[in-house]
Structure 1
Amino acid sequence: MEWIKNTSIAASLVCLGGLLVHTTYDNKHEAYTEIKTEKKNYFPTQIDFAGEKTPLNVSDVRERLDRELLVNANLDASTLLIIKRANRVFPVIEPILKQYGIPDDFKYLAVCESGLVNVVSPAGARGYWQFMPDTGKQYGLEVTDLVDERYHLAKSTEAACKYLLAAKSKFGSWTLAAASYNAGVGGVNKQITFQGVESYYDLLLNDETSRYVFRILAFKEIMQHPAQYGFTATPAELYAQIPVKKVAVTTTLPDLSAFAKEQGINYKILKIHNPWLRDRSLTVAAGKQYEVEIPLSGY
């Protein structure tokens, strides 16, 4: 836990007996305030990933899922932010998964990978789906100093679909395909060959991959039943999709700030809606076309 120090207010969080107690102390008024929020520990009677049943009758499987449910249900701010972001991001991801024949549950893999924001890992993986440069290029993404489509939600989702289809073809299991997204197809296949088993739930894997599918399952359970885990948000509190128009760009843009102003927005807004633009200019090769999203007036 990261403790935040302030000269006027010190706050601590203590979880006792299923009750989350927030205690604040205000030096100016010399008064304590307690806000108590009941946190109930729910556990599903059954759960599956992409239609493949999770064997909760196996003790270590049950305990591994319980661990991820408890951890993520009690990361109050982080998980609530993910729920809010999903309202904006899932409508982009879901139809692409459907188009490629990928089960809808894989949208929770993106949650597990990035928390539904464009992040950068210490190893250099980037975007919602956390592609490394070479893997991104392998699955059709442009990755240069000027354009990095790992930051493009729709295009990176398509690339993830291509990866997952290849992994499913290799393993015959969506659960193993998901595990391979973390450990690599080669890494998972090596353990299957050595251990002589064919189910993710029977494999002994490194700690991160061993937790990986269970984290996905935990996010699925919490996000499908948020109120049961203490998360409530009105529709107005969820992050809404912002209507945009798509502008075709077929010639080089030497100054993206000037381009933004021509479109009636500023450079900040241009970059927020097009994070795949990685520099202050955009070079467009002959015959190439990019689609730039511009928010509609009033947004």
Structure 2
Amino acid sequence: MTSSTARIFRLSAVAIILMAGGAFISTAQIYPQEELHFRAPAVPRQIIFAGDTVRFDRSDLYERMDRELISFTYMHSNSILMLKKSDRYFKQIEPILKQNGIPDDLKYLMAIESNLNPKAYSSAGAAGLWQFTKMTGKEYGLIIDAEVDERYNIEKETLAACKYLRRAYEKYGDWMTVAASYNAGQGGISRRLTDQRQKSALDLWLVEETSRYMFRILSAKMFFENPAAFGFNVNDFEKYPCHSPKEVVTVSGAIASLVDFAEEHGVTYYQLKEANLWLRDNKLLNKAGHTYKIIIPSGK
């Protein structure tokens, strides 16, 4: 039982005792009225996302946005953790998005895909911050085998995501539709646009997951840009830092033991693996002779 719940129960008990004694005290007298109110954040009239204006002047659009804003507000532990992680991961991907001509707002797509968990793995087999499946990851140039899974390499997976997003935008010319295609696939979204005679995925009848997905991204933008409006206050010093590596080692050959490799570079095996989640084994035989960059963390 939470402290606030316990408090309500205690106050309710007091009210019952007082009523039994012939005196009646209202809940408002025991528990100030403002403390009983749970408010949803206001739905804006419109929001600018990736340079496009998304309006909520239709009741269906308003209600779909309202639902996701409420979700962000009251998923307390998850929302706080995402705020704490935001600097660490946004600072790594923002320059890559910019260099590849992808609007900065698309980082919020990544945020809702994985909740900013670089180890995320879905029941559908999607992995990493950008949640690529094996098939799609390989299609966009990621190496995925028993030793290496670049879906967990933040730089490589972000570059792959940029390729996907750019191609989708060339097809649809609308970033909200691009976002929907990231969730449901371009084939499915294209068919529905044709069948329902619409130009934007916002106007499509879709399965609930994809329908909510677009509004979750918009809500994420509002949440990260102004968390105080949602009732959250995480100070800068409380956020997890993005540490610069001590060094980056380029490897083209084999590493028989990553434990030995870590020790030779003055870090623990845990620190090495945490900084290089794409290394999926305790060795790197690298029979294909690929060139990899292994981060040696600072140890802070």
Amino acid at match of 1:229: F
Counterpart for residue 112 of structure 1: 112
Structure 2 residue 182 is matched with structure 1 residue 181: yes
- Which runs of structure 2 are paired with 1:156-175 in the superposition (5 Å)? 156-175=157-176
Distance 2:120 2:36 in 1: 31
Q: Deviations over 1:171-230 (max 9, x none)?
A: 111111111000000010010010011112211111111000100011110110111111
Runs (5+) with no aligned partner, structure 1:
1-9, 13-20, 26-33
Aligned identity (percent) is: 44
Structure 2 residue 208 is matched with structure 1 residue 217: no
Distance 2:265 2:293 in 1: 13
Q: Deviations over 1:81-113 (max 9, x none)?
A: 001101100011101111111111110001110
Distance 1:130 1:261 in 2: 31
**Cα RMSD (Å):** 1.8
Tell me the TM-score normalised to structure 2 length. 0.86
Paired residues of 1:127 and 1:151 also in contact (CA < 8 A): yes
| Matched position secondary structure for 2:145 | coil
Distance 1:89 1:161 in 2: 16
Q: Deviations over 1:220-273 (max 9, x none)?
A: 101101111111111111000112021111220011111100010111111100
Structure 2 residue 254 is matched with structure 1 residue 252: yes
Runs (5+) with no aligned partner, structure 2:
9-30
The answer to which structure has the higher strand fraction is 1
Tell me the TM-score normalised to structure 1 length. 0.87
Evaluate the alpha carbon distance shift between residue 258 and residue 39 of structure 1 in structure 2; reply closer, same or farther with a 3 A threshold.
Answer: farther
The answer to which structure has the higher helix fraction is 2
Counterpart for residue 97 of structure 2: 97
Counterpart for residue 80 of structure 1: 80
Paired residues of 1:40 and 1:228 also in contact (CA < 8 A): no
Cα deviation, residue 37, structure 1: 9.7
Cα deviation, residue 23, structure 1: 3.0
State how many pairs are aligned. Answer: 272
Amino acid at match of 1:197: Q
Paired residues of 2:146 and 2:281 also in contact (CA < 8 A): yes
Cα deviation, residue 286, structure 1: 6.4
Paired residues of 1:72 and 1:218 also in contact (CA < 8 A): yes
Distance 1:251 1:42 in 2: 54
Counterpart for residue 40 of structure 2: 41
- Which runs of structure 2 are paired with 1:125-274 in the superposition (5 Å)? 125-244=126-245, 245-274=247-276
Distance 2:244 2:234 in 1: 22
Counterpart for residue 21 of structure 2: none
Cα deviation, residue 22, structure 1: 4.5
